[in-house]
Amino acid sequence: MSKDWNTRTKLVHEGTRRSQYGEMAEAMFLTQGFVYPSAEAAAARFETLGEDEFIYARYGNPTTRMFEDRMAAIEGTEDAFACASGMAAIHGALAALVKGGDHIVAARQMFGSCLKVLEFLQTFGVAVTLVDGVKLEEWRAAMRPNTKVCFFESVSNPGLEVIDIAGVAKIAHEGGAVVLVDNAFASPVFSRAAELGADVIAYSATKHIDGGGRVLGGVVCGTRAFIRGPLETYVKHTGGAMSPFHAWVLLNGLQTLDLRVRAQAVNAAAVASSVAGHNKLARTIYPGLTTHPQHALAIEQMGAGGTMVAFEFNGGREAAFRFLNALEIIKISNNLGDARSIATHPATTTHSSMTPEKRLEVGVTEGLVRISLGIEDGADLIADIKAALEAV
């Protein structure tokens, strides 16, 4: 397809494969396997797989391939591989990049399951150093001769720290390491990760890419050599493939991704600026606010502040719970990137398996509430939040 197309055109059309029926919508090939015209044809296909050929859905499927091609096109990478979930993508990428005896440098402020995967890798003899991701000098100091990967969330969950992709990439590349970015919070709409030097970019497609909170999915984007080499080999043999049904849902999600995410970011900016300085809040955290410590970087790296806002309540857990319980439009849940606005208390949900000390280290206090803004009317969302703040 055309390399000259802009993102919104690619989101609608890129990667579409039509069968002999010429169907308009992407077909859902809900099949695990494929029928060969002869034993020789089966043998030939197992010997060398052609461009538009498939043998088993754990290895690839036409619907899944459409999703992969569309993702690679919008991310600006040569190829992509679809995985069963965001964690299957992150785990697959890390496992394909390191072996026992290697070293990973990773940002400390990360999604709980990402930190868990790093713990598992340590039991297989991989060394891990956690650093304060916003401090480039810490990345530099942590590099070792056997460092193979620098890994971080470009916008961290849930503290919304923004990490300098180009800055970390320079340090990593000088040390011969690969940069792996978990870009779930930035979303593909605000991603310039490939251009800024990230080598491998992983998404939880469960979040903004679905946008309707329906299915789990993940995707790893990178060079063709990496994606169709070590990454595909690892994921296809260990069982982390995406379901064709989920790929079909996510292809539909991609069509409206840009419209949704931009509307969500407008709502996030409006909410953040209308409640900043409220007397119930110790802090309003939003990369789009000039008070955010990495505001300039966020604008340079993403062109916007993103779809997520975090509040730190003066009154700790009690105030946070009163606020959550008083919300009407905004739902209490733990997904994000949905068309519906969602509020989360990370300390007692997404980050509850960590010890209180570990939580504090990664900025998850008892008074922290994370809000993923949806596409509802902005004035309604602000009114809902202001009323709930009054209830605290």
Q: Minimal distance in Å, beta carbon 6 to ligand PLP?
A: 27
Name the segment binding ligand PLP (CB under 6 A); options: 80-88, 139-147, 171-179, 363-371: 80-88
- The answer to whether 185 and 305 have CB atoms below 8 angstroms apart is no
Q: Minimal distance in Å, beta carbon 113 to ligand PLP?
A: 6
- The answer to whether 312 and 282 have CB atoms below 8 angstroms apart is yes
- Nearest-angstrom CA–CA distance, 298 and 367: 24
Total interface residues for ligand PLP by CB under 6 A: 17
Q: Minimal distance in Å, beta carbon 204 to ligand PLP?
A: 3
Encoded one letter per residue, x for contact with ligand PLP by CB under 6 A and - for no contact, window 119-148 reads ------------------------------
Q: How is residue 333 written in tokens? A: 């849940």
* Residue labelled with tokens 């902005």: 378
Q: Which of residues 141-180 bind ligand PLP (CB under 6 A)?
A: 153, 157
Q: How is residue 373 written in tokens? A: 């803004």
Spell 10-47 as b/e; 16+ CB within 10 A means b: bbeebbbeeeeeeeeebbebeeeeeeeeeeeeeeeeee
Candidates 72, 163, 181, 184; binder of ligand PLP (CB under 6 A) is: 184
Q: Is the peptide bond before 158 cis (omega within 30 degrees of 0)?
A: yes
- Nearest-angstrom CA–CA distance, 178 and 158: 25
Nearest-CA neighbor of 87 among 256, 173, 205, 178? 205
Judged by beta carbon, residue 160 or residue 272, the one nearer ligand PLP is: 160
Name the segment binding ligand PLP (CB under 6 A); options: 48-56, 204-212, 228-236, 365-373: 204-212
Name the segment binding ligand PLP (CB under 6 A); options: 109-117, 138-146, 221-229, 277-285: 109-117
- The amino acid that residue 27 corresponds to is A
Name the segment binding ligand PLP (CB under 6 A); options: 199-207, 234-242, 282-290, 340-348: 199-207
For residue 275, give the 3-state DSSP assignment: helix
Q: Minimal distance in Å, beta carbon 57 to ligand PLP?
A: 19
Burial of 172 (0-12, 13-18, 19+ CB in 10 A): buried
Judged by beta carbon, residue 302 or residue 389, the one nearer ligand PLP is: 302
- The answer to whether 269 and 373 have CB atoms below 8 angstroms apart is no
- Nearest-angstrom CA–CA distance, 304 and 295: 9
- Residue with the CB atom nearest ligand PLP in the bound state: 86
- Nearest-angstrom CA–CA distance, 337 and 10: 20
Judged by beta carbon, residue 362 or residue 389, the one nearer ligand PLP is: 362
Q: Does 92 bind ligand PLP (CB under 6 A)?
A: no
Name the segment binding ligand PLP (CB under 6 A); options: 49-57, 81-89, 229-237, 268-276: 81-89
Candidates 182, 199, 338, 366; binder of ligand PLP (CB under 6 A) is: 182
- Nearest-angstrom CA–CA distance, 111 and 170: 24
Q: Minimal distance in Å, beta carbon 156 to ligand PLP?
A: 8
Candidates 61, 63, 204, 372; binder of ligand PLP (CB under 6 A) is: 204
Q: Which of residues 208-267 bind ligand PLP (CB under 6 A)?
A: 216, 218
Nearest-CA neighbor of 368 among 285, 301, 312, 325? 312
The H or E element that residue 370 is part of is strand 368-372
Candidates 87, 134, 149, 235; binder of ligand PLP (CB under 6 A) is: 87
- The answer to whether 219 and 203 have CB atoms below 8 angstroms apart is yes
Q: Minimal distance in Å, beta carbon 85 to ligand PLP?
A: 3
Q: Minimal distance in Å, beta carbon 56 to ligand PLP?
A: 23
Q: Does 187 bind ligand PLP (CB under 6 A)?
A: no
Candidates 71, 114, 272, 281; binder of ligand PLP (CB under 6 A) is: 114
- The answer to whether 375 and 267 have CB atoms below 8 angstroms apart is yes
Q: How is residue 74 written in tokens? A: 């919008």
Rule CB under 6 A: which residues touch ligand PLP?
85-87, 90, 111, 113-114, 153, 157, 182, 184-185, 204, 206-207, 216, 218
